[in-house]
Each structure stands twice: as structure tokens, then as C-alpha cells.
A and B are shown apart, each in its own frame.
Chain A
Amino acid sequence: MVMNKKKTPTYVKGRMHATAVIIPGILMLFGIMIFSVGYGVADIDSKTIWNSIVSFDKNNLSHQIMHELRFPRVLGGAMIGAGFAVCGAIMQAITRNPLADSGILGINAGAGIMIAVCFVFMPSLSFTGIAFMSFLGAGMGMAMVIGISLLTRTNSLQIILIGSAITTFLTALSEGLIIRSGIGQDLAFWYAGGLAGARWNQVIIVSICFVLAMAMSVILSPSITALSMGEDIAASLGINTKTVKLLCFLTVTLLAGASVAMVGNIGFIGIVIPHITRKLVGTDYRALIPCSATLGALLVVLADLGARSINPPHEIPAAAIIAAIGVPFFLLLARKKG
């Protein structure tokens, strides 16, 4: 990116074509998703899976497990992984900072404080209620960051600073609230729960946001590529940078807000996946965005499968599995080519 001007990664030798990543990626993703639906504490064979889709039987316990627990979980996992990855890619392009992810827009911090407030003041709230409130919080955090940066007509660099100031502020407030009321561990359990609580009503909301945001990011991707080279270049290419940026921020909020509300913050995906993808297919966002989405979905579905199957019937926090898969891979890649 900006940091190493010496080489333009688009022309790095040995770069793969985007389709060489996407097609096997999607095939693998579907394979693992189907396997993941069948695999779990209650083992279900492939015939039953097929039957439960084609001819759903309300009284069949296996069918019920599939419909109520497994499908939303696997589907949700795939969308969240794709979502975080795409958000990270977009944010890194706009801010031209390899450390940026959706958290910079105050999304995670806003969601975090709302969840803390829910735990302290509305302990009887349902899982879906909490998810809804945290989506609201994500929007609120984003509104604060974007509002202030619009107010001051700042550039992308200062958005990072405003974002980290507001993130810091909101995080501190929720930390204070958590320490005062002693709910830290309850919250830790909630966050560690990850995808286990995914149900249809959430997954439907997430998928609406997901489809909308994905469509938007694909439409915006040529402009994002231009923006990633700097605002002046983008402007000289005839792009209305302000509008594009605003649309990008909306996309990110929609996508990351819904994801954070469902599983909490797995921000690492947003940094690790775009970087790996950039090494594979280069920095053209028309290729980068779909490839990141595929790989992100793959990572989370795999991690969720691992979380469920390593120590059944207990679950390991999905973040731990993502770390176990992602960190060594990422370090290796960074060493090899960086």
C-alpha cells in the first residue's frame, strides 16, 4: 500500500487471477458449510440434511435441529466472515492505513457500550433485544465519528484520529460501567458465545444488510480502487470523493454493525483477510472485495466448525480458533513476502 512505494503490488510477480481464488474458494465454502450443518453434537447424515431442505418435517427432531440451530448458525457465520473482511478492505482503502478496520468508525465501541448498558440496566432483555440495541449502538458510534468529521470537513487521515478518539472515549465509558457494576465476566461469556446464539430472526436481518451492503460495495469497488491511490488521484479521475466515501461508510456500518451485533467484535478478520487477499490477487478492489468476502466466510465457517467439534459438547470461543488458524498463517505470509 502507501507504505511501500517501491513496488506497486498490483504487478507483483506470481499474482493469481481473481477467479482462481473465488471459484475454488466458493466451492470449498459450500462444501464446508454442508459438512458443518451435518456435523455437531447431534450427528446428522447427509440424507437427512437433504430431506430437511426438500421436505421439512416439523416432528422430526433432526430436521428441527437443522432448521432452528445449524442453518442459521452456518449461514450467519459465512455472512459475518465475509462482512468483516469486506469492511476491513474498504476501510483500509479509504483511510490508506493498513491498520484500519470497521472499528475505526466507532462501530465496535458504540455496540460495546450499548451491550454493557443492556447488561446493567435491562438484564431481562432477550438475546435478540440485545443484538438490536447493539446494532443501534453501532449506528450511534458511526454517526458520532462521521458527524464530527463532516462538521470539520476533515480528510481521511483525520477520520482515523477522530475515530480512535471516540472509540477510546466510548470504550472507557463502558469499561467504567462494567467495573462499577461487576458484570465483566457475564459480558465475556456473552462475547465468547459467538455464533452459538444465532437464530433465524437475526440471520434474516443480517442477510438483508449483507445483500444490500455487498451490492453497494461491488458497485463502489472501481471508485474504491481509485480512492486507495489517494484522494487527489481519485478526484482527478472524476470521482466525487465525498459522496463515494459517505456511501462506503454507510456500507461498512450496515455490514459491520449487523455483524458486531450478532457475534461481537472479531476485528482481526477485517485486517488479516484483506491483507492475505491483497497478496493473492493484488490491489484492484473489483477483485479484492469478492475474494476477501469468500476467504473471510471460509475462515469463520471453519473456525465455527472447529469451535464446536474440538471439545464437544462444550464450545471453544470462535475467536480463539480464528486466532489459531489466522495468526500463524498471517505471520508466515508477512515473513515470506513482506
Chain B
Amino acid sequence: MQEKKYVFPAEVKAKKRAAVVILSLILLFLVVFFWGVHTGTIHLPLKRVLPALLNRGTGKERFLVFQLRMPRIIISVLVGAGLAVSGCILQSVTRNPMADPGILGINAGAGLVVLVYIAGFAKDSPSPAGMSILSWVGSIGAALTIYLLARNRNKGLSSTRLLLTGIALNFGIQAITTIITLSLNPQEYQTYAYWMAGSLWGVTWPYVVTLLPIVTVSFMIVSMQASTLDVLPLGDSMAASLGVSVRKRQGIAILFSVILAGSCVAAGGNIGFAGLLSTHISRRLVGAVHKRLLPVTALIGGLLVLIADTIGRSMFLPSEMPTGIVVSVIGAPYFLYLLLRTAKREGS
């Protein structure tokens, strides 16, 4: 790179493209938001949505919109964005397109702790808040264990070892989980299975108030590392030769992706696929430069989970389909479509 400010034509093009993508995502957001407020178990007519949002509805409508739908919509966006950003960072840091928050044991750790809670302490009525706090402890605990095991005091953190340690510990936790699962009664099992599949049911304002600052602050800190994240995929030695203190930056990035993913899993259950899918989708939309990639990934993740949650709670009435499942069912085909399209463009 030269000192003088020369703007590459490709850079201009990429900027334009990113702007178009972000604008259309925001528009889509608004549409889905209205649809999300409108639809659900209790019907709210479309023309009543706007008055209710502007606080001019009846008491019942106000309760429906502000106490039931809004917190859930906000949480699903936050959870999606958080997981997506976390997945994006992990893929860059480990230089592995298969990495997602689940690889750090976040989902497995949370699942195990929640399972022990359901099986041992709250047989009849597990409280959602208790499950959230415990799963936060479980996910952060598992991730820290993996991080510490993978770290070498002399050589720092090798990304391959991080991934392999993650896989090993994940498998170990899952084996314990299997043994406990077999001892549950069907009712308990269903509660656990539902939680594991990623469900946003029963979300209230306190969740929003807790999750919002965590996600925003982490996102801001991570965004400041954007230029570092750009060079990390080139390899540790290359990044070091460009003047990046790799070890420290890597540590910060991993730490915050753990906090993000752990908190999101705690609030929304196991929606790990969102992290993997959103990153790949947005990389195909705006390229791999992190100052554009991170915000777009966050938007895509939020949108994906919001759409999935809205579908999950409105199309399977009277019951719900766990959000995690819907995320995969709609996200995976779209991702395949993107893959096919880019492959065709490169081929021709």
C-alpha cells in the first residue's frame, strides 16, 4: 500500500455494493418487523399494527405489542447478530471456513448445564431465567476451558489446536450429555430437546436489557479490530510481519466472540448455525474486508433469525417450531443458491 490516498476502482465498487446491500437489508428489516408484529398466536390486523406501535392502540393491543412481540423481535435480532459476528470472527481467526461458535464448546457446554438443571433440580418447572443464567455459565465455562487447554505458554495460540481441542471437548461433553439424556423422563426430555433446538419462547424485557449492552459493546470493540482481522487470515507470520501483535489481537477477538456467542446462546438457546451461515452469506455479498463484512454479517444474522423466529411462531400454530430449526431450513438453501451463483460466475 502506498502512503498517498489512492482509491482503487475496485474499492469504490465494493463500497457501492456494500451500501446497496446494507440499504436493502434495512428495508427488508422494516418489512419483516411489521410482519412480525402483525402475526402470531393472537391475531393483530395489519392496519392496527401502526397505531399500536405508536401507542394509540387499545390496552390489549398495547400489551400484545409491547410485552409479548417487541421483546421477542428485539432479542431475535440481537441473538442473530451476535452469533453471526462471533462466527465471522472465529472463521477469520482460525482461518477455517468450518469454524462456528459451536466449535468452542459453547452450545455443548450450555446444553450440558441446562440438562443437569432440568434433570437434577427443576424436574417440574424449569424457570427460563434460571436456564439462561446457567447456560451462560456453561457456555463461557466450556469456551474458557478449551481456550486454556489450547493455549501454549511459549508459542501462543495455534488455531488448528484450538479447533481440535474444541472438537475433542465437544465430543466429551456430548458423551456425558447422552448418558444423562437417557435417564430423563419423556416430559423432561422434551423440554431439553426444545431448548437445544433453539427457542425464543418466553422472552421478556429483562432479557433485552441484559443482552443489548453486551452485544453492542462487544460489537464495537470487535469492529475496532476490523483491520487486524483482515490480515489474520493471511497467516500468523504474515500478520506479524505487517506489524500486528497477533497473539494479543487474536486473544481479544476470541474473547469477545466467546462472550457474544455465550450470551446469545443463553438468551436464545442453541441457534449455532446462524453463525456459520450468516458469515458465508455475507462474505458472498460484500467480500472479505472486515469493515464491511462485520456490519453486513450482523445484519444478515439478525434478519435470518428474525425471519426464522417469525415463521416458527406463526406457521405452525397452535404450537411453535424452534427457531434454530427454521434458521437452518431457510438459511441453508439460500446459502447453496449463493454458492451456485458465485461458482457459475467464476466458471464463465
Question: Residues of A with Cβ closer than 8 Å to B?
Answer: 1, 3-6, 97-100, 148, 151-154, 157-158, 160-162, 164-166, 168-169, 171-173, 175-176, 178-180, 182, 184-185, 188-189, 191-192, 268, 271-272, 275, 316-317, 319-320, 322-324, 326-327, 330-331, 334-335, 338
* Interface class of chain B by DSSP: helix
Q: Is the CB of A165 within 8 A of B336?
A: yes
List residues of chain A with CB within 8 A of the CB of B322.
175-176, 179
Q: Do A179 and B165 touch across chains, with their CB atoms under 8 A apart?
A: no
Q: In the complex, A166 Cα to B158 Cα: how many Å?
A: 29
Q: Is B1 an interface residue (CB 8 A)?
A: no
Given the known inter-chain contacts A162-B336, A326-B171, please indicate yes or no for A1 contacting B160, CB distance below 8 A: yes
Q: Which residues of B contact A175 (CB under 8 A)?
A: 197, 322, 324-325
Query: A168 and B277: CB pair below 8 A?
Result: yes
B175, A319: Cβ atoms closer than 8 Å = yes
Question: Are the CB atoms of A169 and B343 closer together than 8 Å?
Answer: no
Q: Which residues of B contact A319 (CB under 8 A)?
A: 171, 174-175, 178
Binary A-proximity of B267-290 (CB < 8 A = 1, otherwise 0)? 000000100110010000000000
Give the distance in Å from the alpha carbon of A162 to the alpha carbon of B332 in the complex. Answer: 9
Name A's interface SS.
helix
Is there contact, CB below 8 Å, between A188 and B181? Answer: yes
Give the nearest-CB partner of B343 in chain A. A152
Once A3-B159, A98-B163 are accepted as A-B contacts, the answer to whether A192 and B178 lie under 8 Å apart by CB is yes
Task: For the complex formed, measure the closest distance between the CB of A7 and the CB atoms of chain B, giving whole angstroms.
Answer: 12
Q: Given A3, A162, A173, A185, which contacts B329 in the complex, CB threshold below 8 Å? A: A173
B98 on interface, CB distance cutoff 8 Å: yes
| A323 with B171: CB separation less than 8 A | yes
User: What residues on A are CB-neighbors of B197 within 8 Å?
Assistant: 175, 179
* Complex contact A275–B164 (CB within 8 A): yes
Q: Are B98 and A164 in contact (CB under 8 A)?
A: yes
Number of A-B residue pairs at CB separation under 8 A = 166
Q: Are A99 and B96 in contact (CB under 8 A)?
A: yes
Q: Are B175 and A168 in contact (CB-based, < 8 A)? A: no
Q: What's the minimum C-beta distance from A271 to chain B, rounded to whole angstroms?
A: 6
Asked if B304 is an interface residue, CB under 8 A from chain A, the answer is no
CA distance A19 to B171 in the complex (A): 30
Are A176 and B321 in contact, CB atoms less than 8 angstroms apart?
Answer: yes
Enumerate chain A residues within 8 angstroms of B98, measured Cβ to Cβ: 97, 99-100, 160, 164
Does B133 have its Cβ within 8 Å of any Cβ on chain A? no
With a cutoff of 8 Å between Cβ atoms, the chain B residues found around residue A320 in the complex are: 175-176, 178-179
Closest residue of A by beta carbon distance from B331 = A168
Given A162-B336, A323-B176, A334-B164, 19 additional A-B pairs, CB 8 A: A4-B158, A6-B237, A98-B164, A152-B343, A152-B347, A165-B333, A166-B332, A168-B331, A169-B328, A179-B322, A180-B321, A184-B190, A185-B182, A191-B178, A268-B168, A324-B175, A327-B171, A330-B168, A334-B150
Verify if B240 is at the interface (C-beta below 8 Å from A). no
Interchain CB contact (< 8 A) of A158 among B103, B181, B343: B343
Q: Which residues of chain A are within 8 angstroms of B277 by Cβ–Cβ distance? A: 165, 168
0/1 interface trace, chain B 140-178, chain A, CB 8 Å (1 if under)? 000000000110100000111101110111011011101
Contact across chains for A272 and B168 when beta carbons are under 8 A apart:
yes
Given A152-B343, A162-B336, A185-B184, are A316 and B179 neighbors across the interface (CB < 8 Å)?
yes
A100 to B235, CA, bound (A): 20
CB neighbours (8 Å) of A188 from chain B are 178, 181-182, 189
* Closest 4 A/B residue pairs (Cβ): A172-B328, A323-B175, A152-B343, A169-B332
- For A184, the chain B residues whose CB sits under 8 A away are 189-190, 193
Q: Is the CB of B193 within 8 A of A98?
A: no
| 18 pairs from A and B in contact (CB 8 Å cutoff) | A98-B96, A99-B167, A153-B343, A154-B339, A161-B335, A164-B98, A165-B277, A165-B336, A168-B332, A176-B322, A176-B329, A178-B193, A179-B190, A179-B325, A272-B171, A326-B168, A327-B172, A331-B165
